[in-house]
């Protein structure tokens, strides 16, 4: 699956700098001045999360709305940290692996265009139920796998996931399910697929061009009854196949 078109705009020099680790990760939780904060709390094998990333979130990199947004991805979701700091994931050990892989990608390639393209590729494979081929995304995108593989095979990957666990557990109000989308500090609950309209409503100054045509949707935000799929934060005992069959995990 090809990545969002914005990925193609990266000059080769930037890709080389990212791969070499010369571009440093911005401080987590900080929003660029004047931009609307958009946070996605998710888990890698949640079918609703993968569909949202591939079918909805990627669109803001194509329509230009990303220029008005500070986007932060938090791959942890409904996982749990045990007394020994071991992490258990809702959809099993493979989800823990991919959560860590995506956390490592964000850390290794802090440029949004790069790490989002990689995550988009992996989650596209999740949508197709081909996620065990996730390593093919390195070759598809021309990325050096070494920074990510070294990260998830070391203590760094675990530390990143513990950091994301702390960020997820600190949410107010607490997240109830994933995907959990937050715009300017306000959770969208089950109306998360309308996130673009919330971004436009929260934008400062002249609305981004991408907001044109979203007026009708913005007017309907307060009255719309959202019925989007979610994976409930109810522990780690449910099987991934239950979610993939369309059932809510309660």
Q: How confident is the model at residue 64 (pLDDT cuts 50, 70, 90)?
A: very high
Please give the pLDDT value at position 239: 32
Establish if 31 belongs to a structural domain.
no
For the domain that residue 46 is a member of, what is the CATH number? 3.40.30.10
Give CA angle at 202 (37, 112), nearest 5°: 30
Which helix (DSSP H) or strand (DSSP E) does residue 244 occupy?
helix 240-244
Q: How many structural domains comprise the chain?
A: 1
Instruction: Indicate if the pLDDT at residue 12 is higher than 50.
Output: no
Q: How confident is the model at residue 150 (pLDDT cuts 50, 70, 90)?
A: very high
Please give the pLDDT value at position 206: 84
Establish if 233 belongs to a structural domain.
no
Establish if 17 belongs to a structural domain.
no
Query: Given CA atoms 106, 31, 158, 175 in this order, what sign does their dihedral have?
Result: negative
Separation between Cα atoms, residue 216 and residue 202, nearest integer Å: 16
> Which whole number is the average pLDDT over 115-132?
98
Task: Write the pLDDT tens digit of every residue in 16-27.
Answer: 433 444 334 344
Establish if 6 belongs to a structural domain.
no
> Which whole number is the average pLDDT over 141-153?
98
Establish if 18 belongs to a structural domain.
no
Q: What is the mean pLDDT of the chain?
A: 82
> Which whole number is the average pLDDT over 132-157?
98
How many H helices and E strands in the chain? 11, 8
Establish if 43 belongs to a structural domain.
yes
Domain that holds residue 53: 36-207
> Which whole number is the average pLDDT over 80-91?
96
Encoding tokens for residue 120? 């988009």
């Amino acid at each position: 699956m090809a990545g969002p078109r914005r990925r193609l705009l990266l000059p080769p020099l930037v890709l080389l700098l990212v791969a070499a680790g010369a571009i440093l990760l911005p401080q987590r939780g900080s929003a660029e001045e004047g931009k609307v904060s958009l946070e996605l709390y998710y888990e890698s094998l949640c079918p609703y999360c993968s569909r949202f990333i591939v079918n909805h979130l990627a669109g803001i990199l194509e329509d230009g709305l990303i220029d008005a947004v500070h986007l932060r991805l938090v791959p942890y979701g409904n996982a749990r940290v045990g007394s020994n700091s071991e992490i258990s994931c809702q959809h099993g050990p493979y989800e823990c692996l991919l959560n860590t892989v995506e956390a490592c990608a964000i850390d290794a390639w802090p440029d949004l265009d790069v790490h989002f393209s990689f995550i988009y590729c992996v989650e596209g494979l999740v949508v197709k139920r081909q996620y065990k081929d996730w390593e093919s995304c390195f070759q598809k995108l021309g990325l050096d796998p070494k920074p990510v593989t070294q990260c998830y095979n070391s203590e760094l990957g675990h530390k990143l996931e513990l950091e994301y666990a702390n960020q997820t557990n600190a949410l107010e109000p607490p997240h109830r399910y994933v995907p959990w989308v937050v715009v300017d500090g306000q959770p969208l609950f089950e109306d998360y697929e309308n996130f673009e309209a919330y971004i436009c409503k929260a934008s400062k100054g002249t609305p981004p061009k991408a907001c044109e045509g979203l007026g009708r949707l913005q007017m309907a935000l307060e009255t719309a009854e959202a019925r989007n799929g979610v994976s409930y934060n109810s522990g780690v005992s449910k099987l991934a196949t239950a979610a993939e069959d369309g059932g809510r995990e309660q």
